[in-house]
Amino acid sequence: MKLSYKVSGICIVLLLLANALFVFPSHAKAAKEGYYYTSGNRILDSEGNEAVWNGLNWFGFETSNFAPHGLWTRKLEDMLDQAKQQGYNLIRLPYSNQMFDKGSQANGIDYYKNPSLKNLTPIEIMDYFIEQAGERGFHIILDRHRPSASGQSELWYTDQYSEQRWIDDWVMLAKRYKGNQIVIGADLHNEPHGAASWGTNDPKTDWRLAAQKAGNAILKQNSDWLIIVEGVESNVKGKQGSYWWGGNLMGVEKYPVKLQVDNRLVYSTHDYGPGVHHQSWFNERSFPNNLPALWDKYWGYISKQKLAPVLVGEFGGRSVDKSSLEGKWQHALVQYIQENQLYWTYWSLNPNSGDTGGLLLDDWNTWHKDKQAMLKPIMKQLAESSPGKSGEKPPGNGSSSSASSGNSSNANDRSSVTGAASKMGQVSCLLERAPLDLQEKLSTEKSGSSAAPPTELQTLQVQAQLNSDESKEQDSSIRIGVQLKNTGAEALALEHITIRYWYTSDTEQQVEQQAYVDYAALGNEAVQAKIVALEKARQQADYYIELSFNELAGQLLPNQSTGEIKLRWNKADWSAFTLSNDYSYAKDFKEYREWKRMTVYSQGKLIYGTEPKMK
């Protein structure tokens, strides 16, 4: 009997071992052909050669377009060709879980330029994107950027999209692209922040535990992928300090992520300049020489101690000169990446990133030569090879027509939109995210405006609504949400409508300001925004920001709303606004509410609200 028990015990142990080997088949350090693995702080291919990548972000799938941005004005293949021609071979591709919902439909695509995408679901467009990228020698890192298309979340789950849904979608993608050598990794969740913690062992907030759970679920189905884990903002056990969203990796040294497949873990940080938010370290007298020690503290030590590779998954900014704060920061970070041989994906290809701009200029065609020159020290020489089905295609000429006119150029996660700041007291911003029905508007051959003639002013009935949930009474930027509702019985031609929000600059003289439109449900190319300085100051106002619409906005039908338009603006010197002094400021409007201190005009005539009184 003792012998039989012993034999039975051995059998059970062997069965458990066999099951473990089946679940996680790749404990070996090396990767399969076409894939990558980690060794210390390096990422190597299956033959042990160093990974050679020049990376960028191309967003859009995570938004309500459920497709890469820019396809309203260019052909997908031409944009890939252009990026390849400029020396890039790695794309971090953001998506949202909402993209996989049954009712989600891709929009904002000119199907005359992109006929291969017609009638495809969002995930089928992703399939096609990956296929075309692979044919040009690109690798893809999938980035779960948001749960829903409406915006970034603090944690990896929300009331609408649970932790299990997050994991299930990752497992689905791991299965879908298993054996596809183009897709090489999973960036598990973009920019954990707020309540997100590290090392606290609280299953509701400890991002490290969640990353382990999702990473292991992915590797169980697809052991070839790299698992990319970003940091948090704060709340690191045993550590003090707050950093960029997703950028704080101080907890890794004591509380590392532990995966059940060896040599697949990459840590990722995000780092930005004052164009995104003005942090205290930009004001230190030793700036920018203080930055390397700061980076060492929060995330650089991981690579220096050879704990794991580090991917700088997002960094970018509009200024690339060597005299502005942002320009100095950007050059310093490029030097740090070069000196420490870090991996990187620049934010972003898209020009419609509100606080950073893109590698493409606002016309979606012209490459930003100054940014490319700034990145030159970390651009690696690429071999002529392709991870996809076939060899590289010759670069396209990148020619296309733009759906917008004038200068146009996105947030909370930077997937939002702005125009370039002028050097006067007024800033114009033209949105770049395509309207939902842009494909129909682009396909028409009719000339002139499609909007209806202006309705008689006396019949117009509208309501302006404000959301001030992101506003602080004193801050270096003002953030508001605006909606316009048609409360009348007649359709409203939006191209004749303007909306004003009145505020004070808190300065004695006119000051240069920069405005950004972070989101517009109506469609990015349908809206413009500008900041106007009043010739004579009014009570609680010496400026207003004005929203206007073009013919692409079409008509606003009775009882319909434009949907959310999110605005943000700041002074060029980043000095603070005191919002409590502002005529249109409303405290604690956490949901959209009617607000008559915003004014609405039709053809320049006031039709809603009350303007501030003259002094």
274-287: pLDDT as tens digits: 989 999 999 999 99
494: containing domain: 417-608
480 and 342 fall within a common domain: no
Task: Give the three-class secondary structure for 551.
Answer: helix
Q: What is residue 459's predicted lDDT score, i.e. its pLDDT? A: 59
β pairing state of 343-346 and 598-602? unpaired
Q: Please indicate, yes or no, if residue 374 is contained in any of the structural domains.
A: yes
All residue ranges of the chain with pLDDT < 50 are: 1-28, 388-413, 415-456
Domain end among 358, 378, 398:
378
Note whether 371 and 470 are same-domain residues.
Answer: no
1 belongs to a structural domain: no
Instruction: Name the amino acid, one letter, at 174.
Output: A
Pairing of strands 565-571, 492-493: unpaired
Rg (alpha carbons) of the chain, rounded to whole number: 25
Q: Please indicate, yes or no, whether residues 593 and 464 belong to a single structural domain of this protein.
A: yes
Q: How many CA atoms lie within 13 Å of 99's alpha carbon, on the beta-carbon side?
A: 33
- pLDDT for 384 equals 67
Query: Does some domain include residue 395?
Result: no
Residue with tokens 């300090």: 241
Q: Please check whether residue 155 is in contact with residue 196, taking contact to mean a CB–CB distance below 8 angstroms.
A: yes
The 462-467 sheet, strands edge to edge: 417-418, 513-520, 565-571, 477-486, 462-467, 593-594
Are residues 331 and 437 both part of a single domain?
A: no
Are residues 461 and 591 located together in one domain of the fold?
yes
Last residue of a domain, one of 378, 399, 431: 378
Confirm whether 191 is a catalytic residue.
yes
For 222, the token pair is: 């697809």
Task: State the angle between helix axes of 163-176 and 207-221 in degrees (0 to 180), rounded to the nearest 10.
Answer: 30
129 in any annotated domain: yes
Note whether 374 and 515 are same-domain residues.
no
Asked if the structure places residue 355 within a domain, the reply is no
Looking at residue 580, which CATH number applies to its domain? Answer: 2.60.40.710
Both 198 and 105 in a single domain?
yes
Shared domain check, 131 and 49? yes
Q: At what angle do helices 122-135 and 76-85 cross, to 10 degrees?
A: 40
Whether the upstream peptide bond of residue 288 has omega within 30° of 0, thus cis, is yes
Nearest to 258 by CA among 250, 246, 267: 267
The CATH number linked to 185 is: 3.20.20.80
546: annotated active-site residue: no
DSSP character for 138? -
Q: For residue 384, is it within any domain?
A: no
Return the residue matching tokens 């941005």. 69
- Domain boundary (329, 357, 378) is at 378
Residues 339, 425 within the same domain: no
Residue 60 lies in a domain: yes
Active-site residue, selected from the candidate residues 191, 230, 326, 564: 191
Token pair, residue 44, equals: 């190597």
Are residues 244 and 168 part of one domain? Answer: yes
Number of domains present in the structure of the chain: 2
| Measured distance CA(292)–CA(289) in Å, rounded | 7
SS3 187: strand
| Residues 6+ away with beta carbon under 8 Å from 437 | 107, 523, 554
- The closest of 120, 222, 210 to 171, measured between CA atoms, is 222
* Global pTM value: 0.66
- 447 within some domain: yes
Residues 223 and 277 in one domain: yes
Nearest-CA neighbor of 65 among 93, 94, 104, 97? 104
Residues 344 and 465 in one domain: no
Q: Which of the residues 230, 314, 546, 564 is marked catalytic?
A: 314
Quote the tokens at residue 273: 């300049």
